[in-house]
A and B are shown apart, each in its own frame.
Chain A
């Protein structure tokens, strides 16, 4: 009997996540002492920007849904937007209105949360140029939208940014920022601080010349524009630019670290997230892989690809940069979110940022100067032995270098990374970050490619396979000070959803095989799961409705880069349904009897979904 008990206990231990002893479950103690500035301090029930705060924590202080009642979450209402490309953004809630924007053709909806069933308040159809469909590398997605100054502001796939009156749904302004026929698209989530909206270009695989620009929220005109590569003048690199490591110091490195004029097709597109520190008045964002993806064609560091920039939010002047993967040979990029936190460090507090890079290392960086404090693997990787903290350089494994026309086996991770753009969350209560991660490797054969404007400038032929253990993904809690995992939950497929963590120590995330889960933020114990109609590659959020009730919402609609697993078992059909949950599914007018129906506005006739892609 004792043997059976022991076996049972071992089985349980195997099934349960590993727990650090440093902060027992049930306590309110932080695991790390890390905190965050939650500016601008929006009302607790609102969600007015993709990551909720400037620091990109995705932390909600709400506590109505808690450890005890979370298992009673049920669907309160749903909304289908009719579009079949991958869904990647989180809904915004401002006052009594929810704002949604679809992937291409980028239709915006305002839903009235004060009425039964959240009917459509207005719909806006921007009708972007369909040529953009053929230029977007990784599905025809949009990662989010912004609310500011009474306007909903977002990017169209065809290189326009548009602002829509949040009350009426009428277009206020629309500006054209690039030429889609040459390869660039816009898929980034517009990010607003004060009177500026920051827009970054997409097109890492299209030989583009990446840029980030600040537009005026009032009329959309460009206030400043910073190219990633090229001469210092175009990159807004001047006397204020002080990178921490010597190898990133010098004049016009965005030219001299490339052969000839290859920087002009060097991509390095900032298609990921922007964060903002109101005390330093600086923005932080990452840049994509260099083009072409075949590294032997572009000897050199290829600055400023696969890097992070700190810039003055007002002038755009670069303050520092750090290149995560010099001369990126594996398409590891640097676009993932930078979560701004304050950490205890050798007896003092440091203003830091945490960045889970595709290359498999989680970096904790001093955001005042670009010094790497911690760089530890957060998942399966073998391309580097370590990141040398003295130089900031990776120590690359010789066996991981790609070779033209020869298959190099088992490089981990593949191009898609140990984590992609799917945003992590940080809790100031636990001091931990929460992230969906990937466990996979690739067999890589490189090819020499030529630049043909408007076509892929790529060269990587690869077969991806699951990493050790056979599971493609997991969801982890990460200690950003010690640089180690606290717990993890294994999942069958890549966990490509964003995360949200609440004041009740609940973390929500979704899986590509359609499970939406609530997890104890301290232990990793799964408290609730609901199977939804499609896979989840969007970020969940939580809000309080006009009825003072807390809801949790998430878009389904698997797609985007996650489509690389479309032939792996468990991958679900596409979808486009927003699910909104509450305790017992309660909502305005719920209960017995026929509900009052509101049907003032008709949805547009859906664009016929593409049979395949284009």
Chain B
């Protein structure tokens, strides 16, 4: 029984949940990841809060170099995965870690 509970707990804990702030983006420098992240940014409704040009609206501007929860790749990954107490939803159950990294790639592509 205990083993079953443990197994269920492991299933319910996505691999993506814990990423250190200094973790590099595995897709760093890959243009196809930026493209994939762009598509996900629309598909997952990120555009509804952060706008099609990422300059914000309902949610913060992602182009202005002001990061409330940190602007390093690992920090952005963490914000997307876990959400924020101020209403950014958690996306770790809706996107795979690779997909979240691709969104990070897309956001960072607007800062070069």
Contacts and interface: CB of A to CB of B under 8 A. Distances in A.
Interface residues of B, number: 25
A563 B55 CA distance: 12
Is chain A's interface secondary structure helix, strand, loop, or mixed overall? loop
A449 B47 CA distance: 10
Contact of A455 (B48, B60, B61, B84): B48
B45 A456 contact: yes
A224 to B, nearest CB: 30
B45 A134 contact: no
Interface string B78-112: 00000011111100001000000000000000000
B9 interface: no
Interface in B52-83: 52, 55-61, 64, 66, 68
Contacts of B60: 611-614
A271 interface: no
Given A205-B48, A614-B86, A136 B58 contact: yes
B89 A456 contact: no
A314 interface: no
A461 interface: yes
Contact of B86 (A447, A454, A610): A610
A131 B86 contact: yes
B89 A134 contact: yes
Contacts of B52: 461
B42 interface: yes
Contacts of A610: 68, 86
A454 B48 CA distance: 11
B19 interface: no
B43 interface: yes
Contact of B56 (A131, A457, A613): A613
A177 interface: no
B66 A456 contact: no
Contacts of B17: none
Interface residues of A, number: 28
A134 B60 CA distance: 10
Nearest to B45: A455
Contacts of B85: 130-131
A612 B47 CA distance: 16
B61 to A, nearest CB: 6
Given A130-B87, A133-B87, A610-B86, A456 B49 contact: yes
Contact of B68 (A454, A567, A612): A612
Nearest to B68: A611
Contacts of B55: 567
Contacts of B86: 130-131, 133-134, 610, 614
Contacts of A134: 49, 58-59, 84, 86-89
The CB with the most chain A CB atoms within 10 A, among B57, B64, B66, B87, is that of: B87
A458 B58 CA distance: 12
B7 interface: no
Contact of A456 (B48, B56, B88): B48
Interface in B10-62: 42-45, 47-49, 52, 55-61
Interface string A129-172: 01111111110000000000000000000000000000000000
Contacts of A456: 45, 47-49, 58
Given A452-B45, A455-B49, A612 B56 contact: yes
A450 interface: yes
Nearest to A455: B45
A452 B44 contact: yes
Contacts of B61: 612
Given A452-B44, A454-B89, A611 B59 contact: no
B87 to A, nearest CB: 2
Contact of A137 (B58, B84, B89, B94): B58
Contacts of B59: 134, 612-614
Interface in A446-484: 447, 449-450, 452, 454-458, 461
The CB with the most chain A CB atoms within 10 A, among B43, B56, B57, is that of: B57
The CB with the most chain B CB atoms within 10 A, among A447, A454, A612, is that of: A612
A136 B88 CA distance: 11
A450 B88 contact: no
Given A130-B86, A456-B48, A612-B64, 19 more contacts: A131-B87, A134-B87, A134-B89, A135-B87, A205-B58, A447-B42, A447-B47, A455-B49, A456-B45, A456-B47, A457-B45, A458-B47, A458-B48, A564-B57, A610-B86, A612-B56, A612-B59, A613-B60, A614-B87
18 contacts: A130-B85, A132-B87, A133-B86, A134-B88, A137-B58, A447-B42, A450-B45, A452-B45, A455-B44, A455-B89, A457-B45, A567-B55, A611-B60, A611-B66, A612-B66, A613-B59, A614-B59, A614-B87
Interface of A: 130-138, 205, 447, 449-450, 452, 454-458, 461, 563-564, 567, 610-614
Top 8 closest pairs, chain A to chain B, by CB = A134-B87, A456-B48, A612-B60, A455-B45, A614-B86, A133-B87, A461-B52, A458-B48
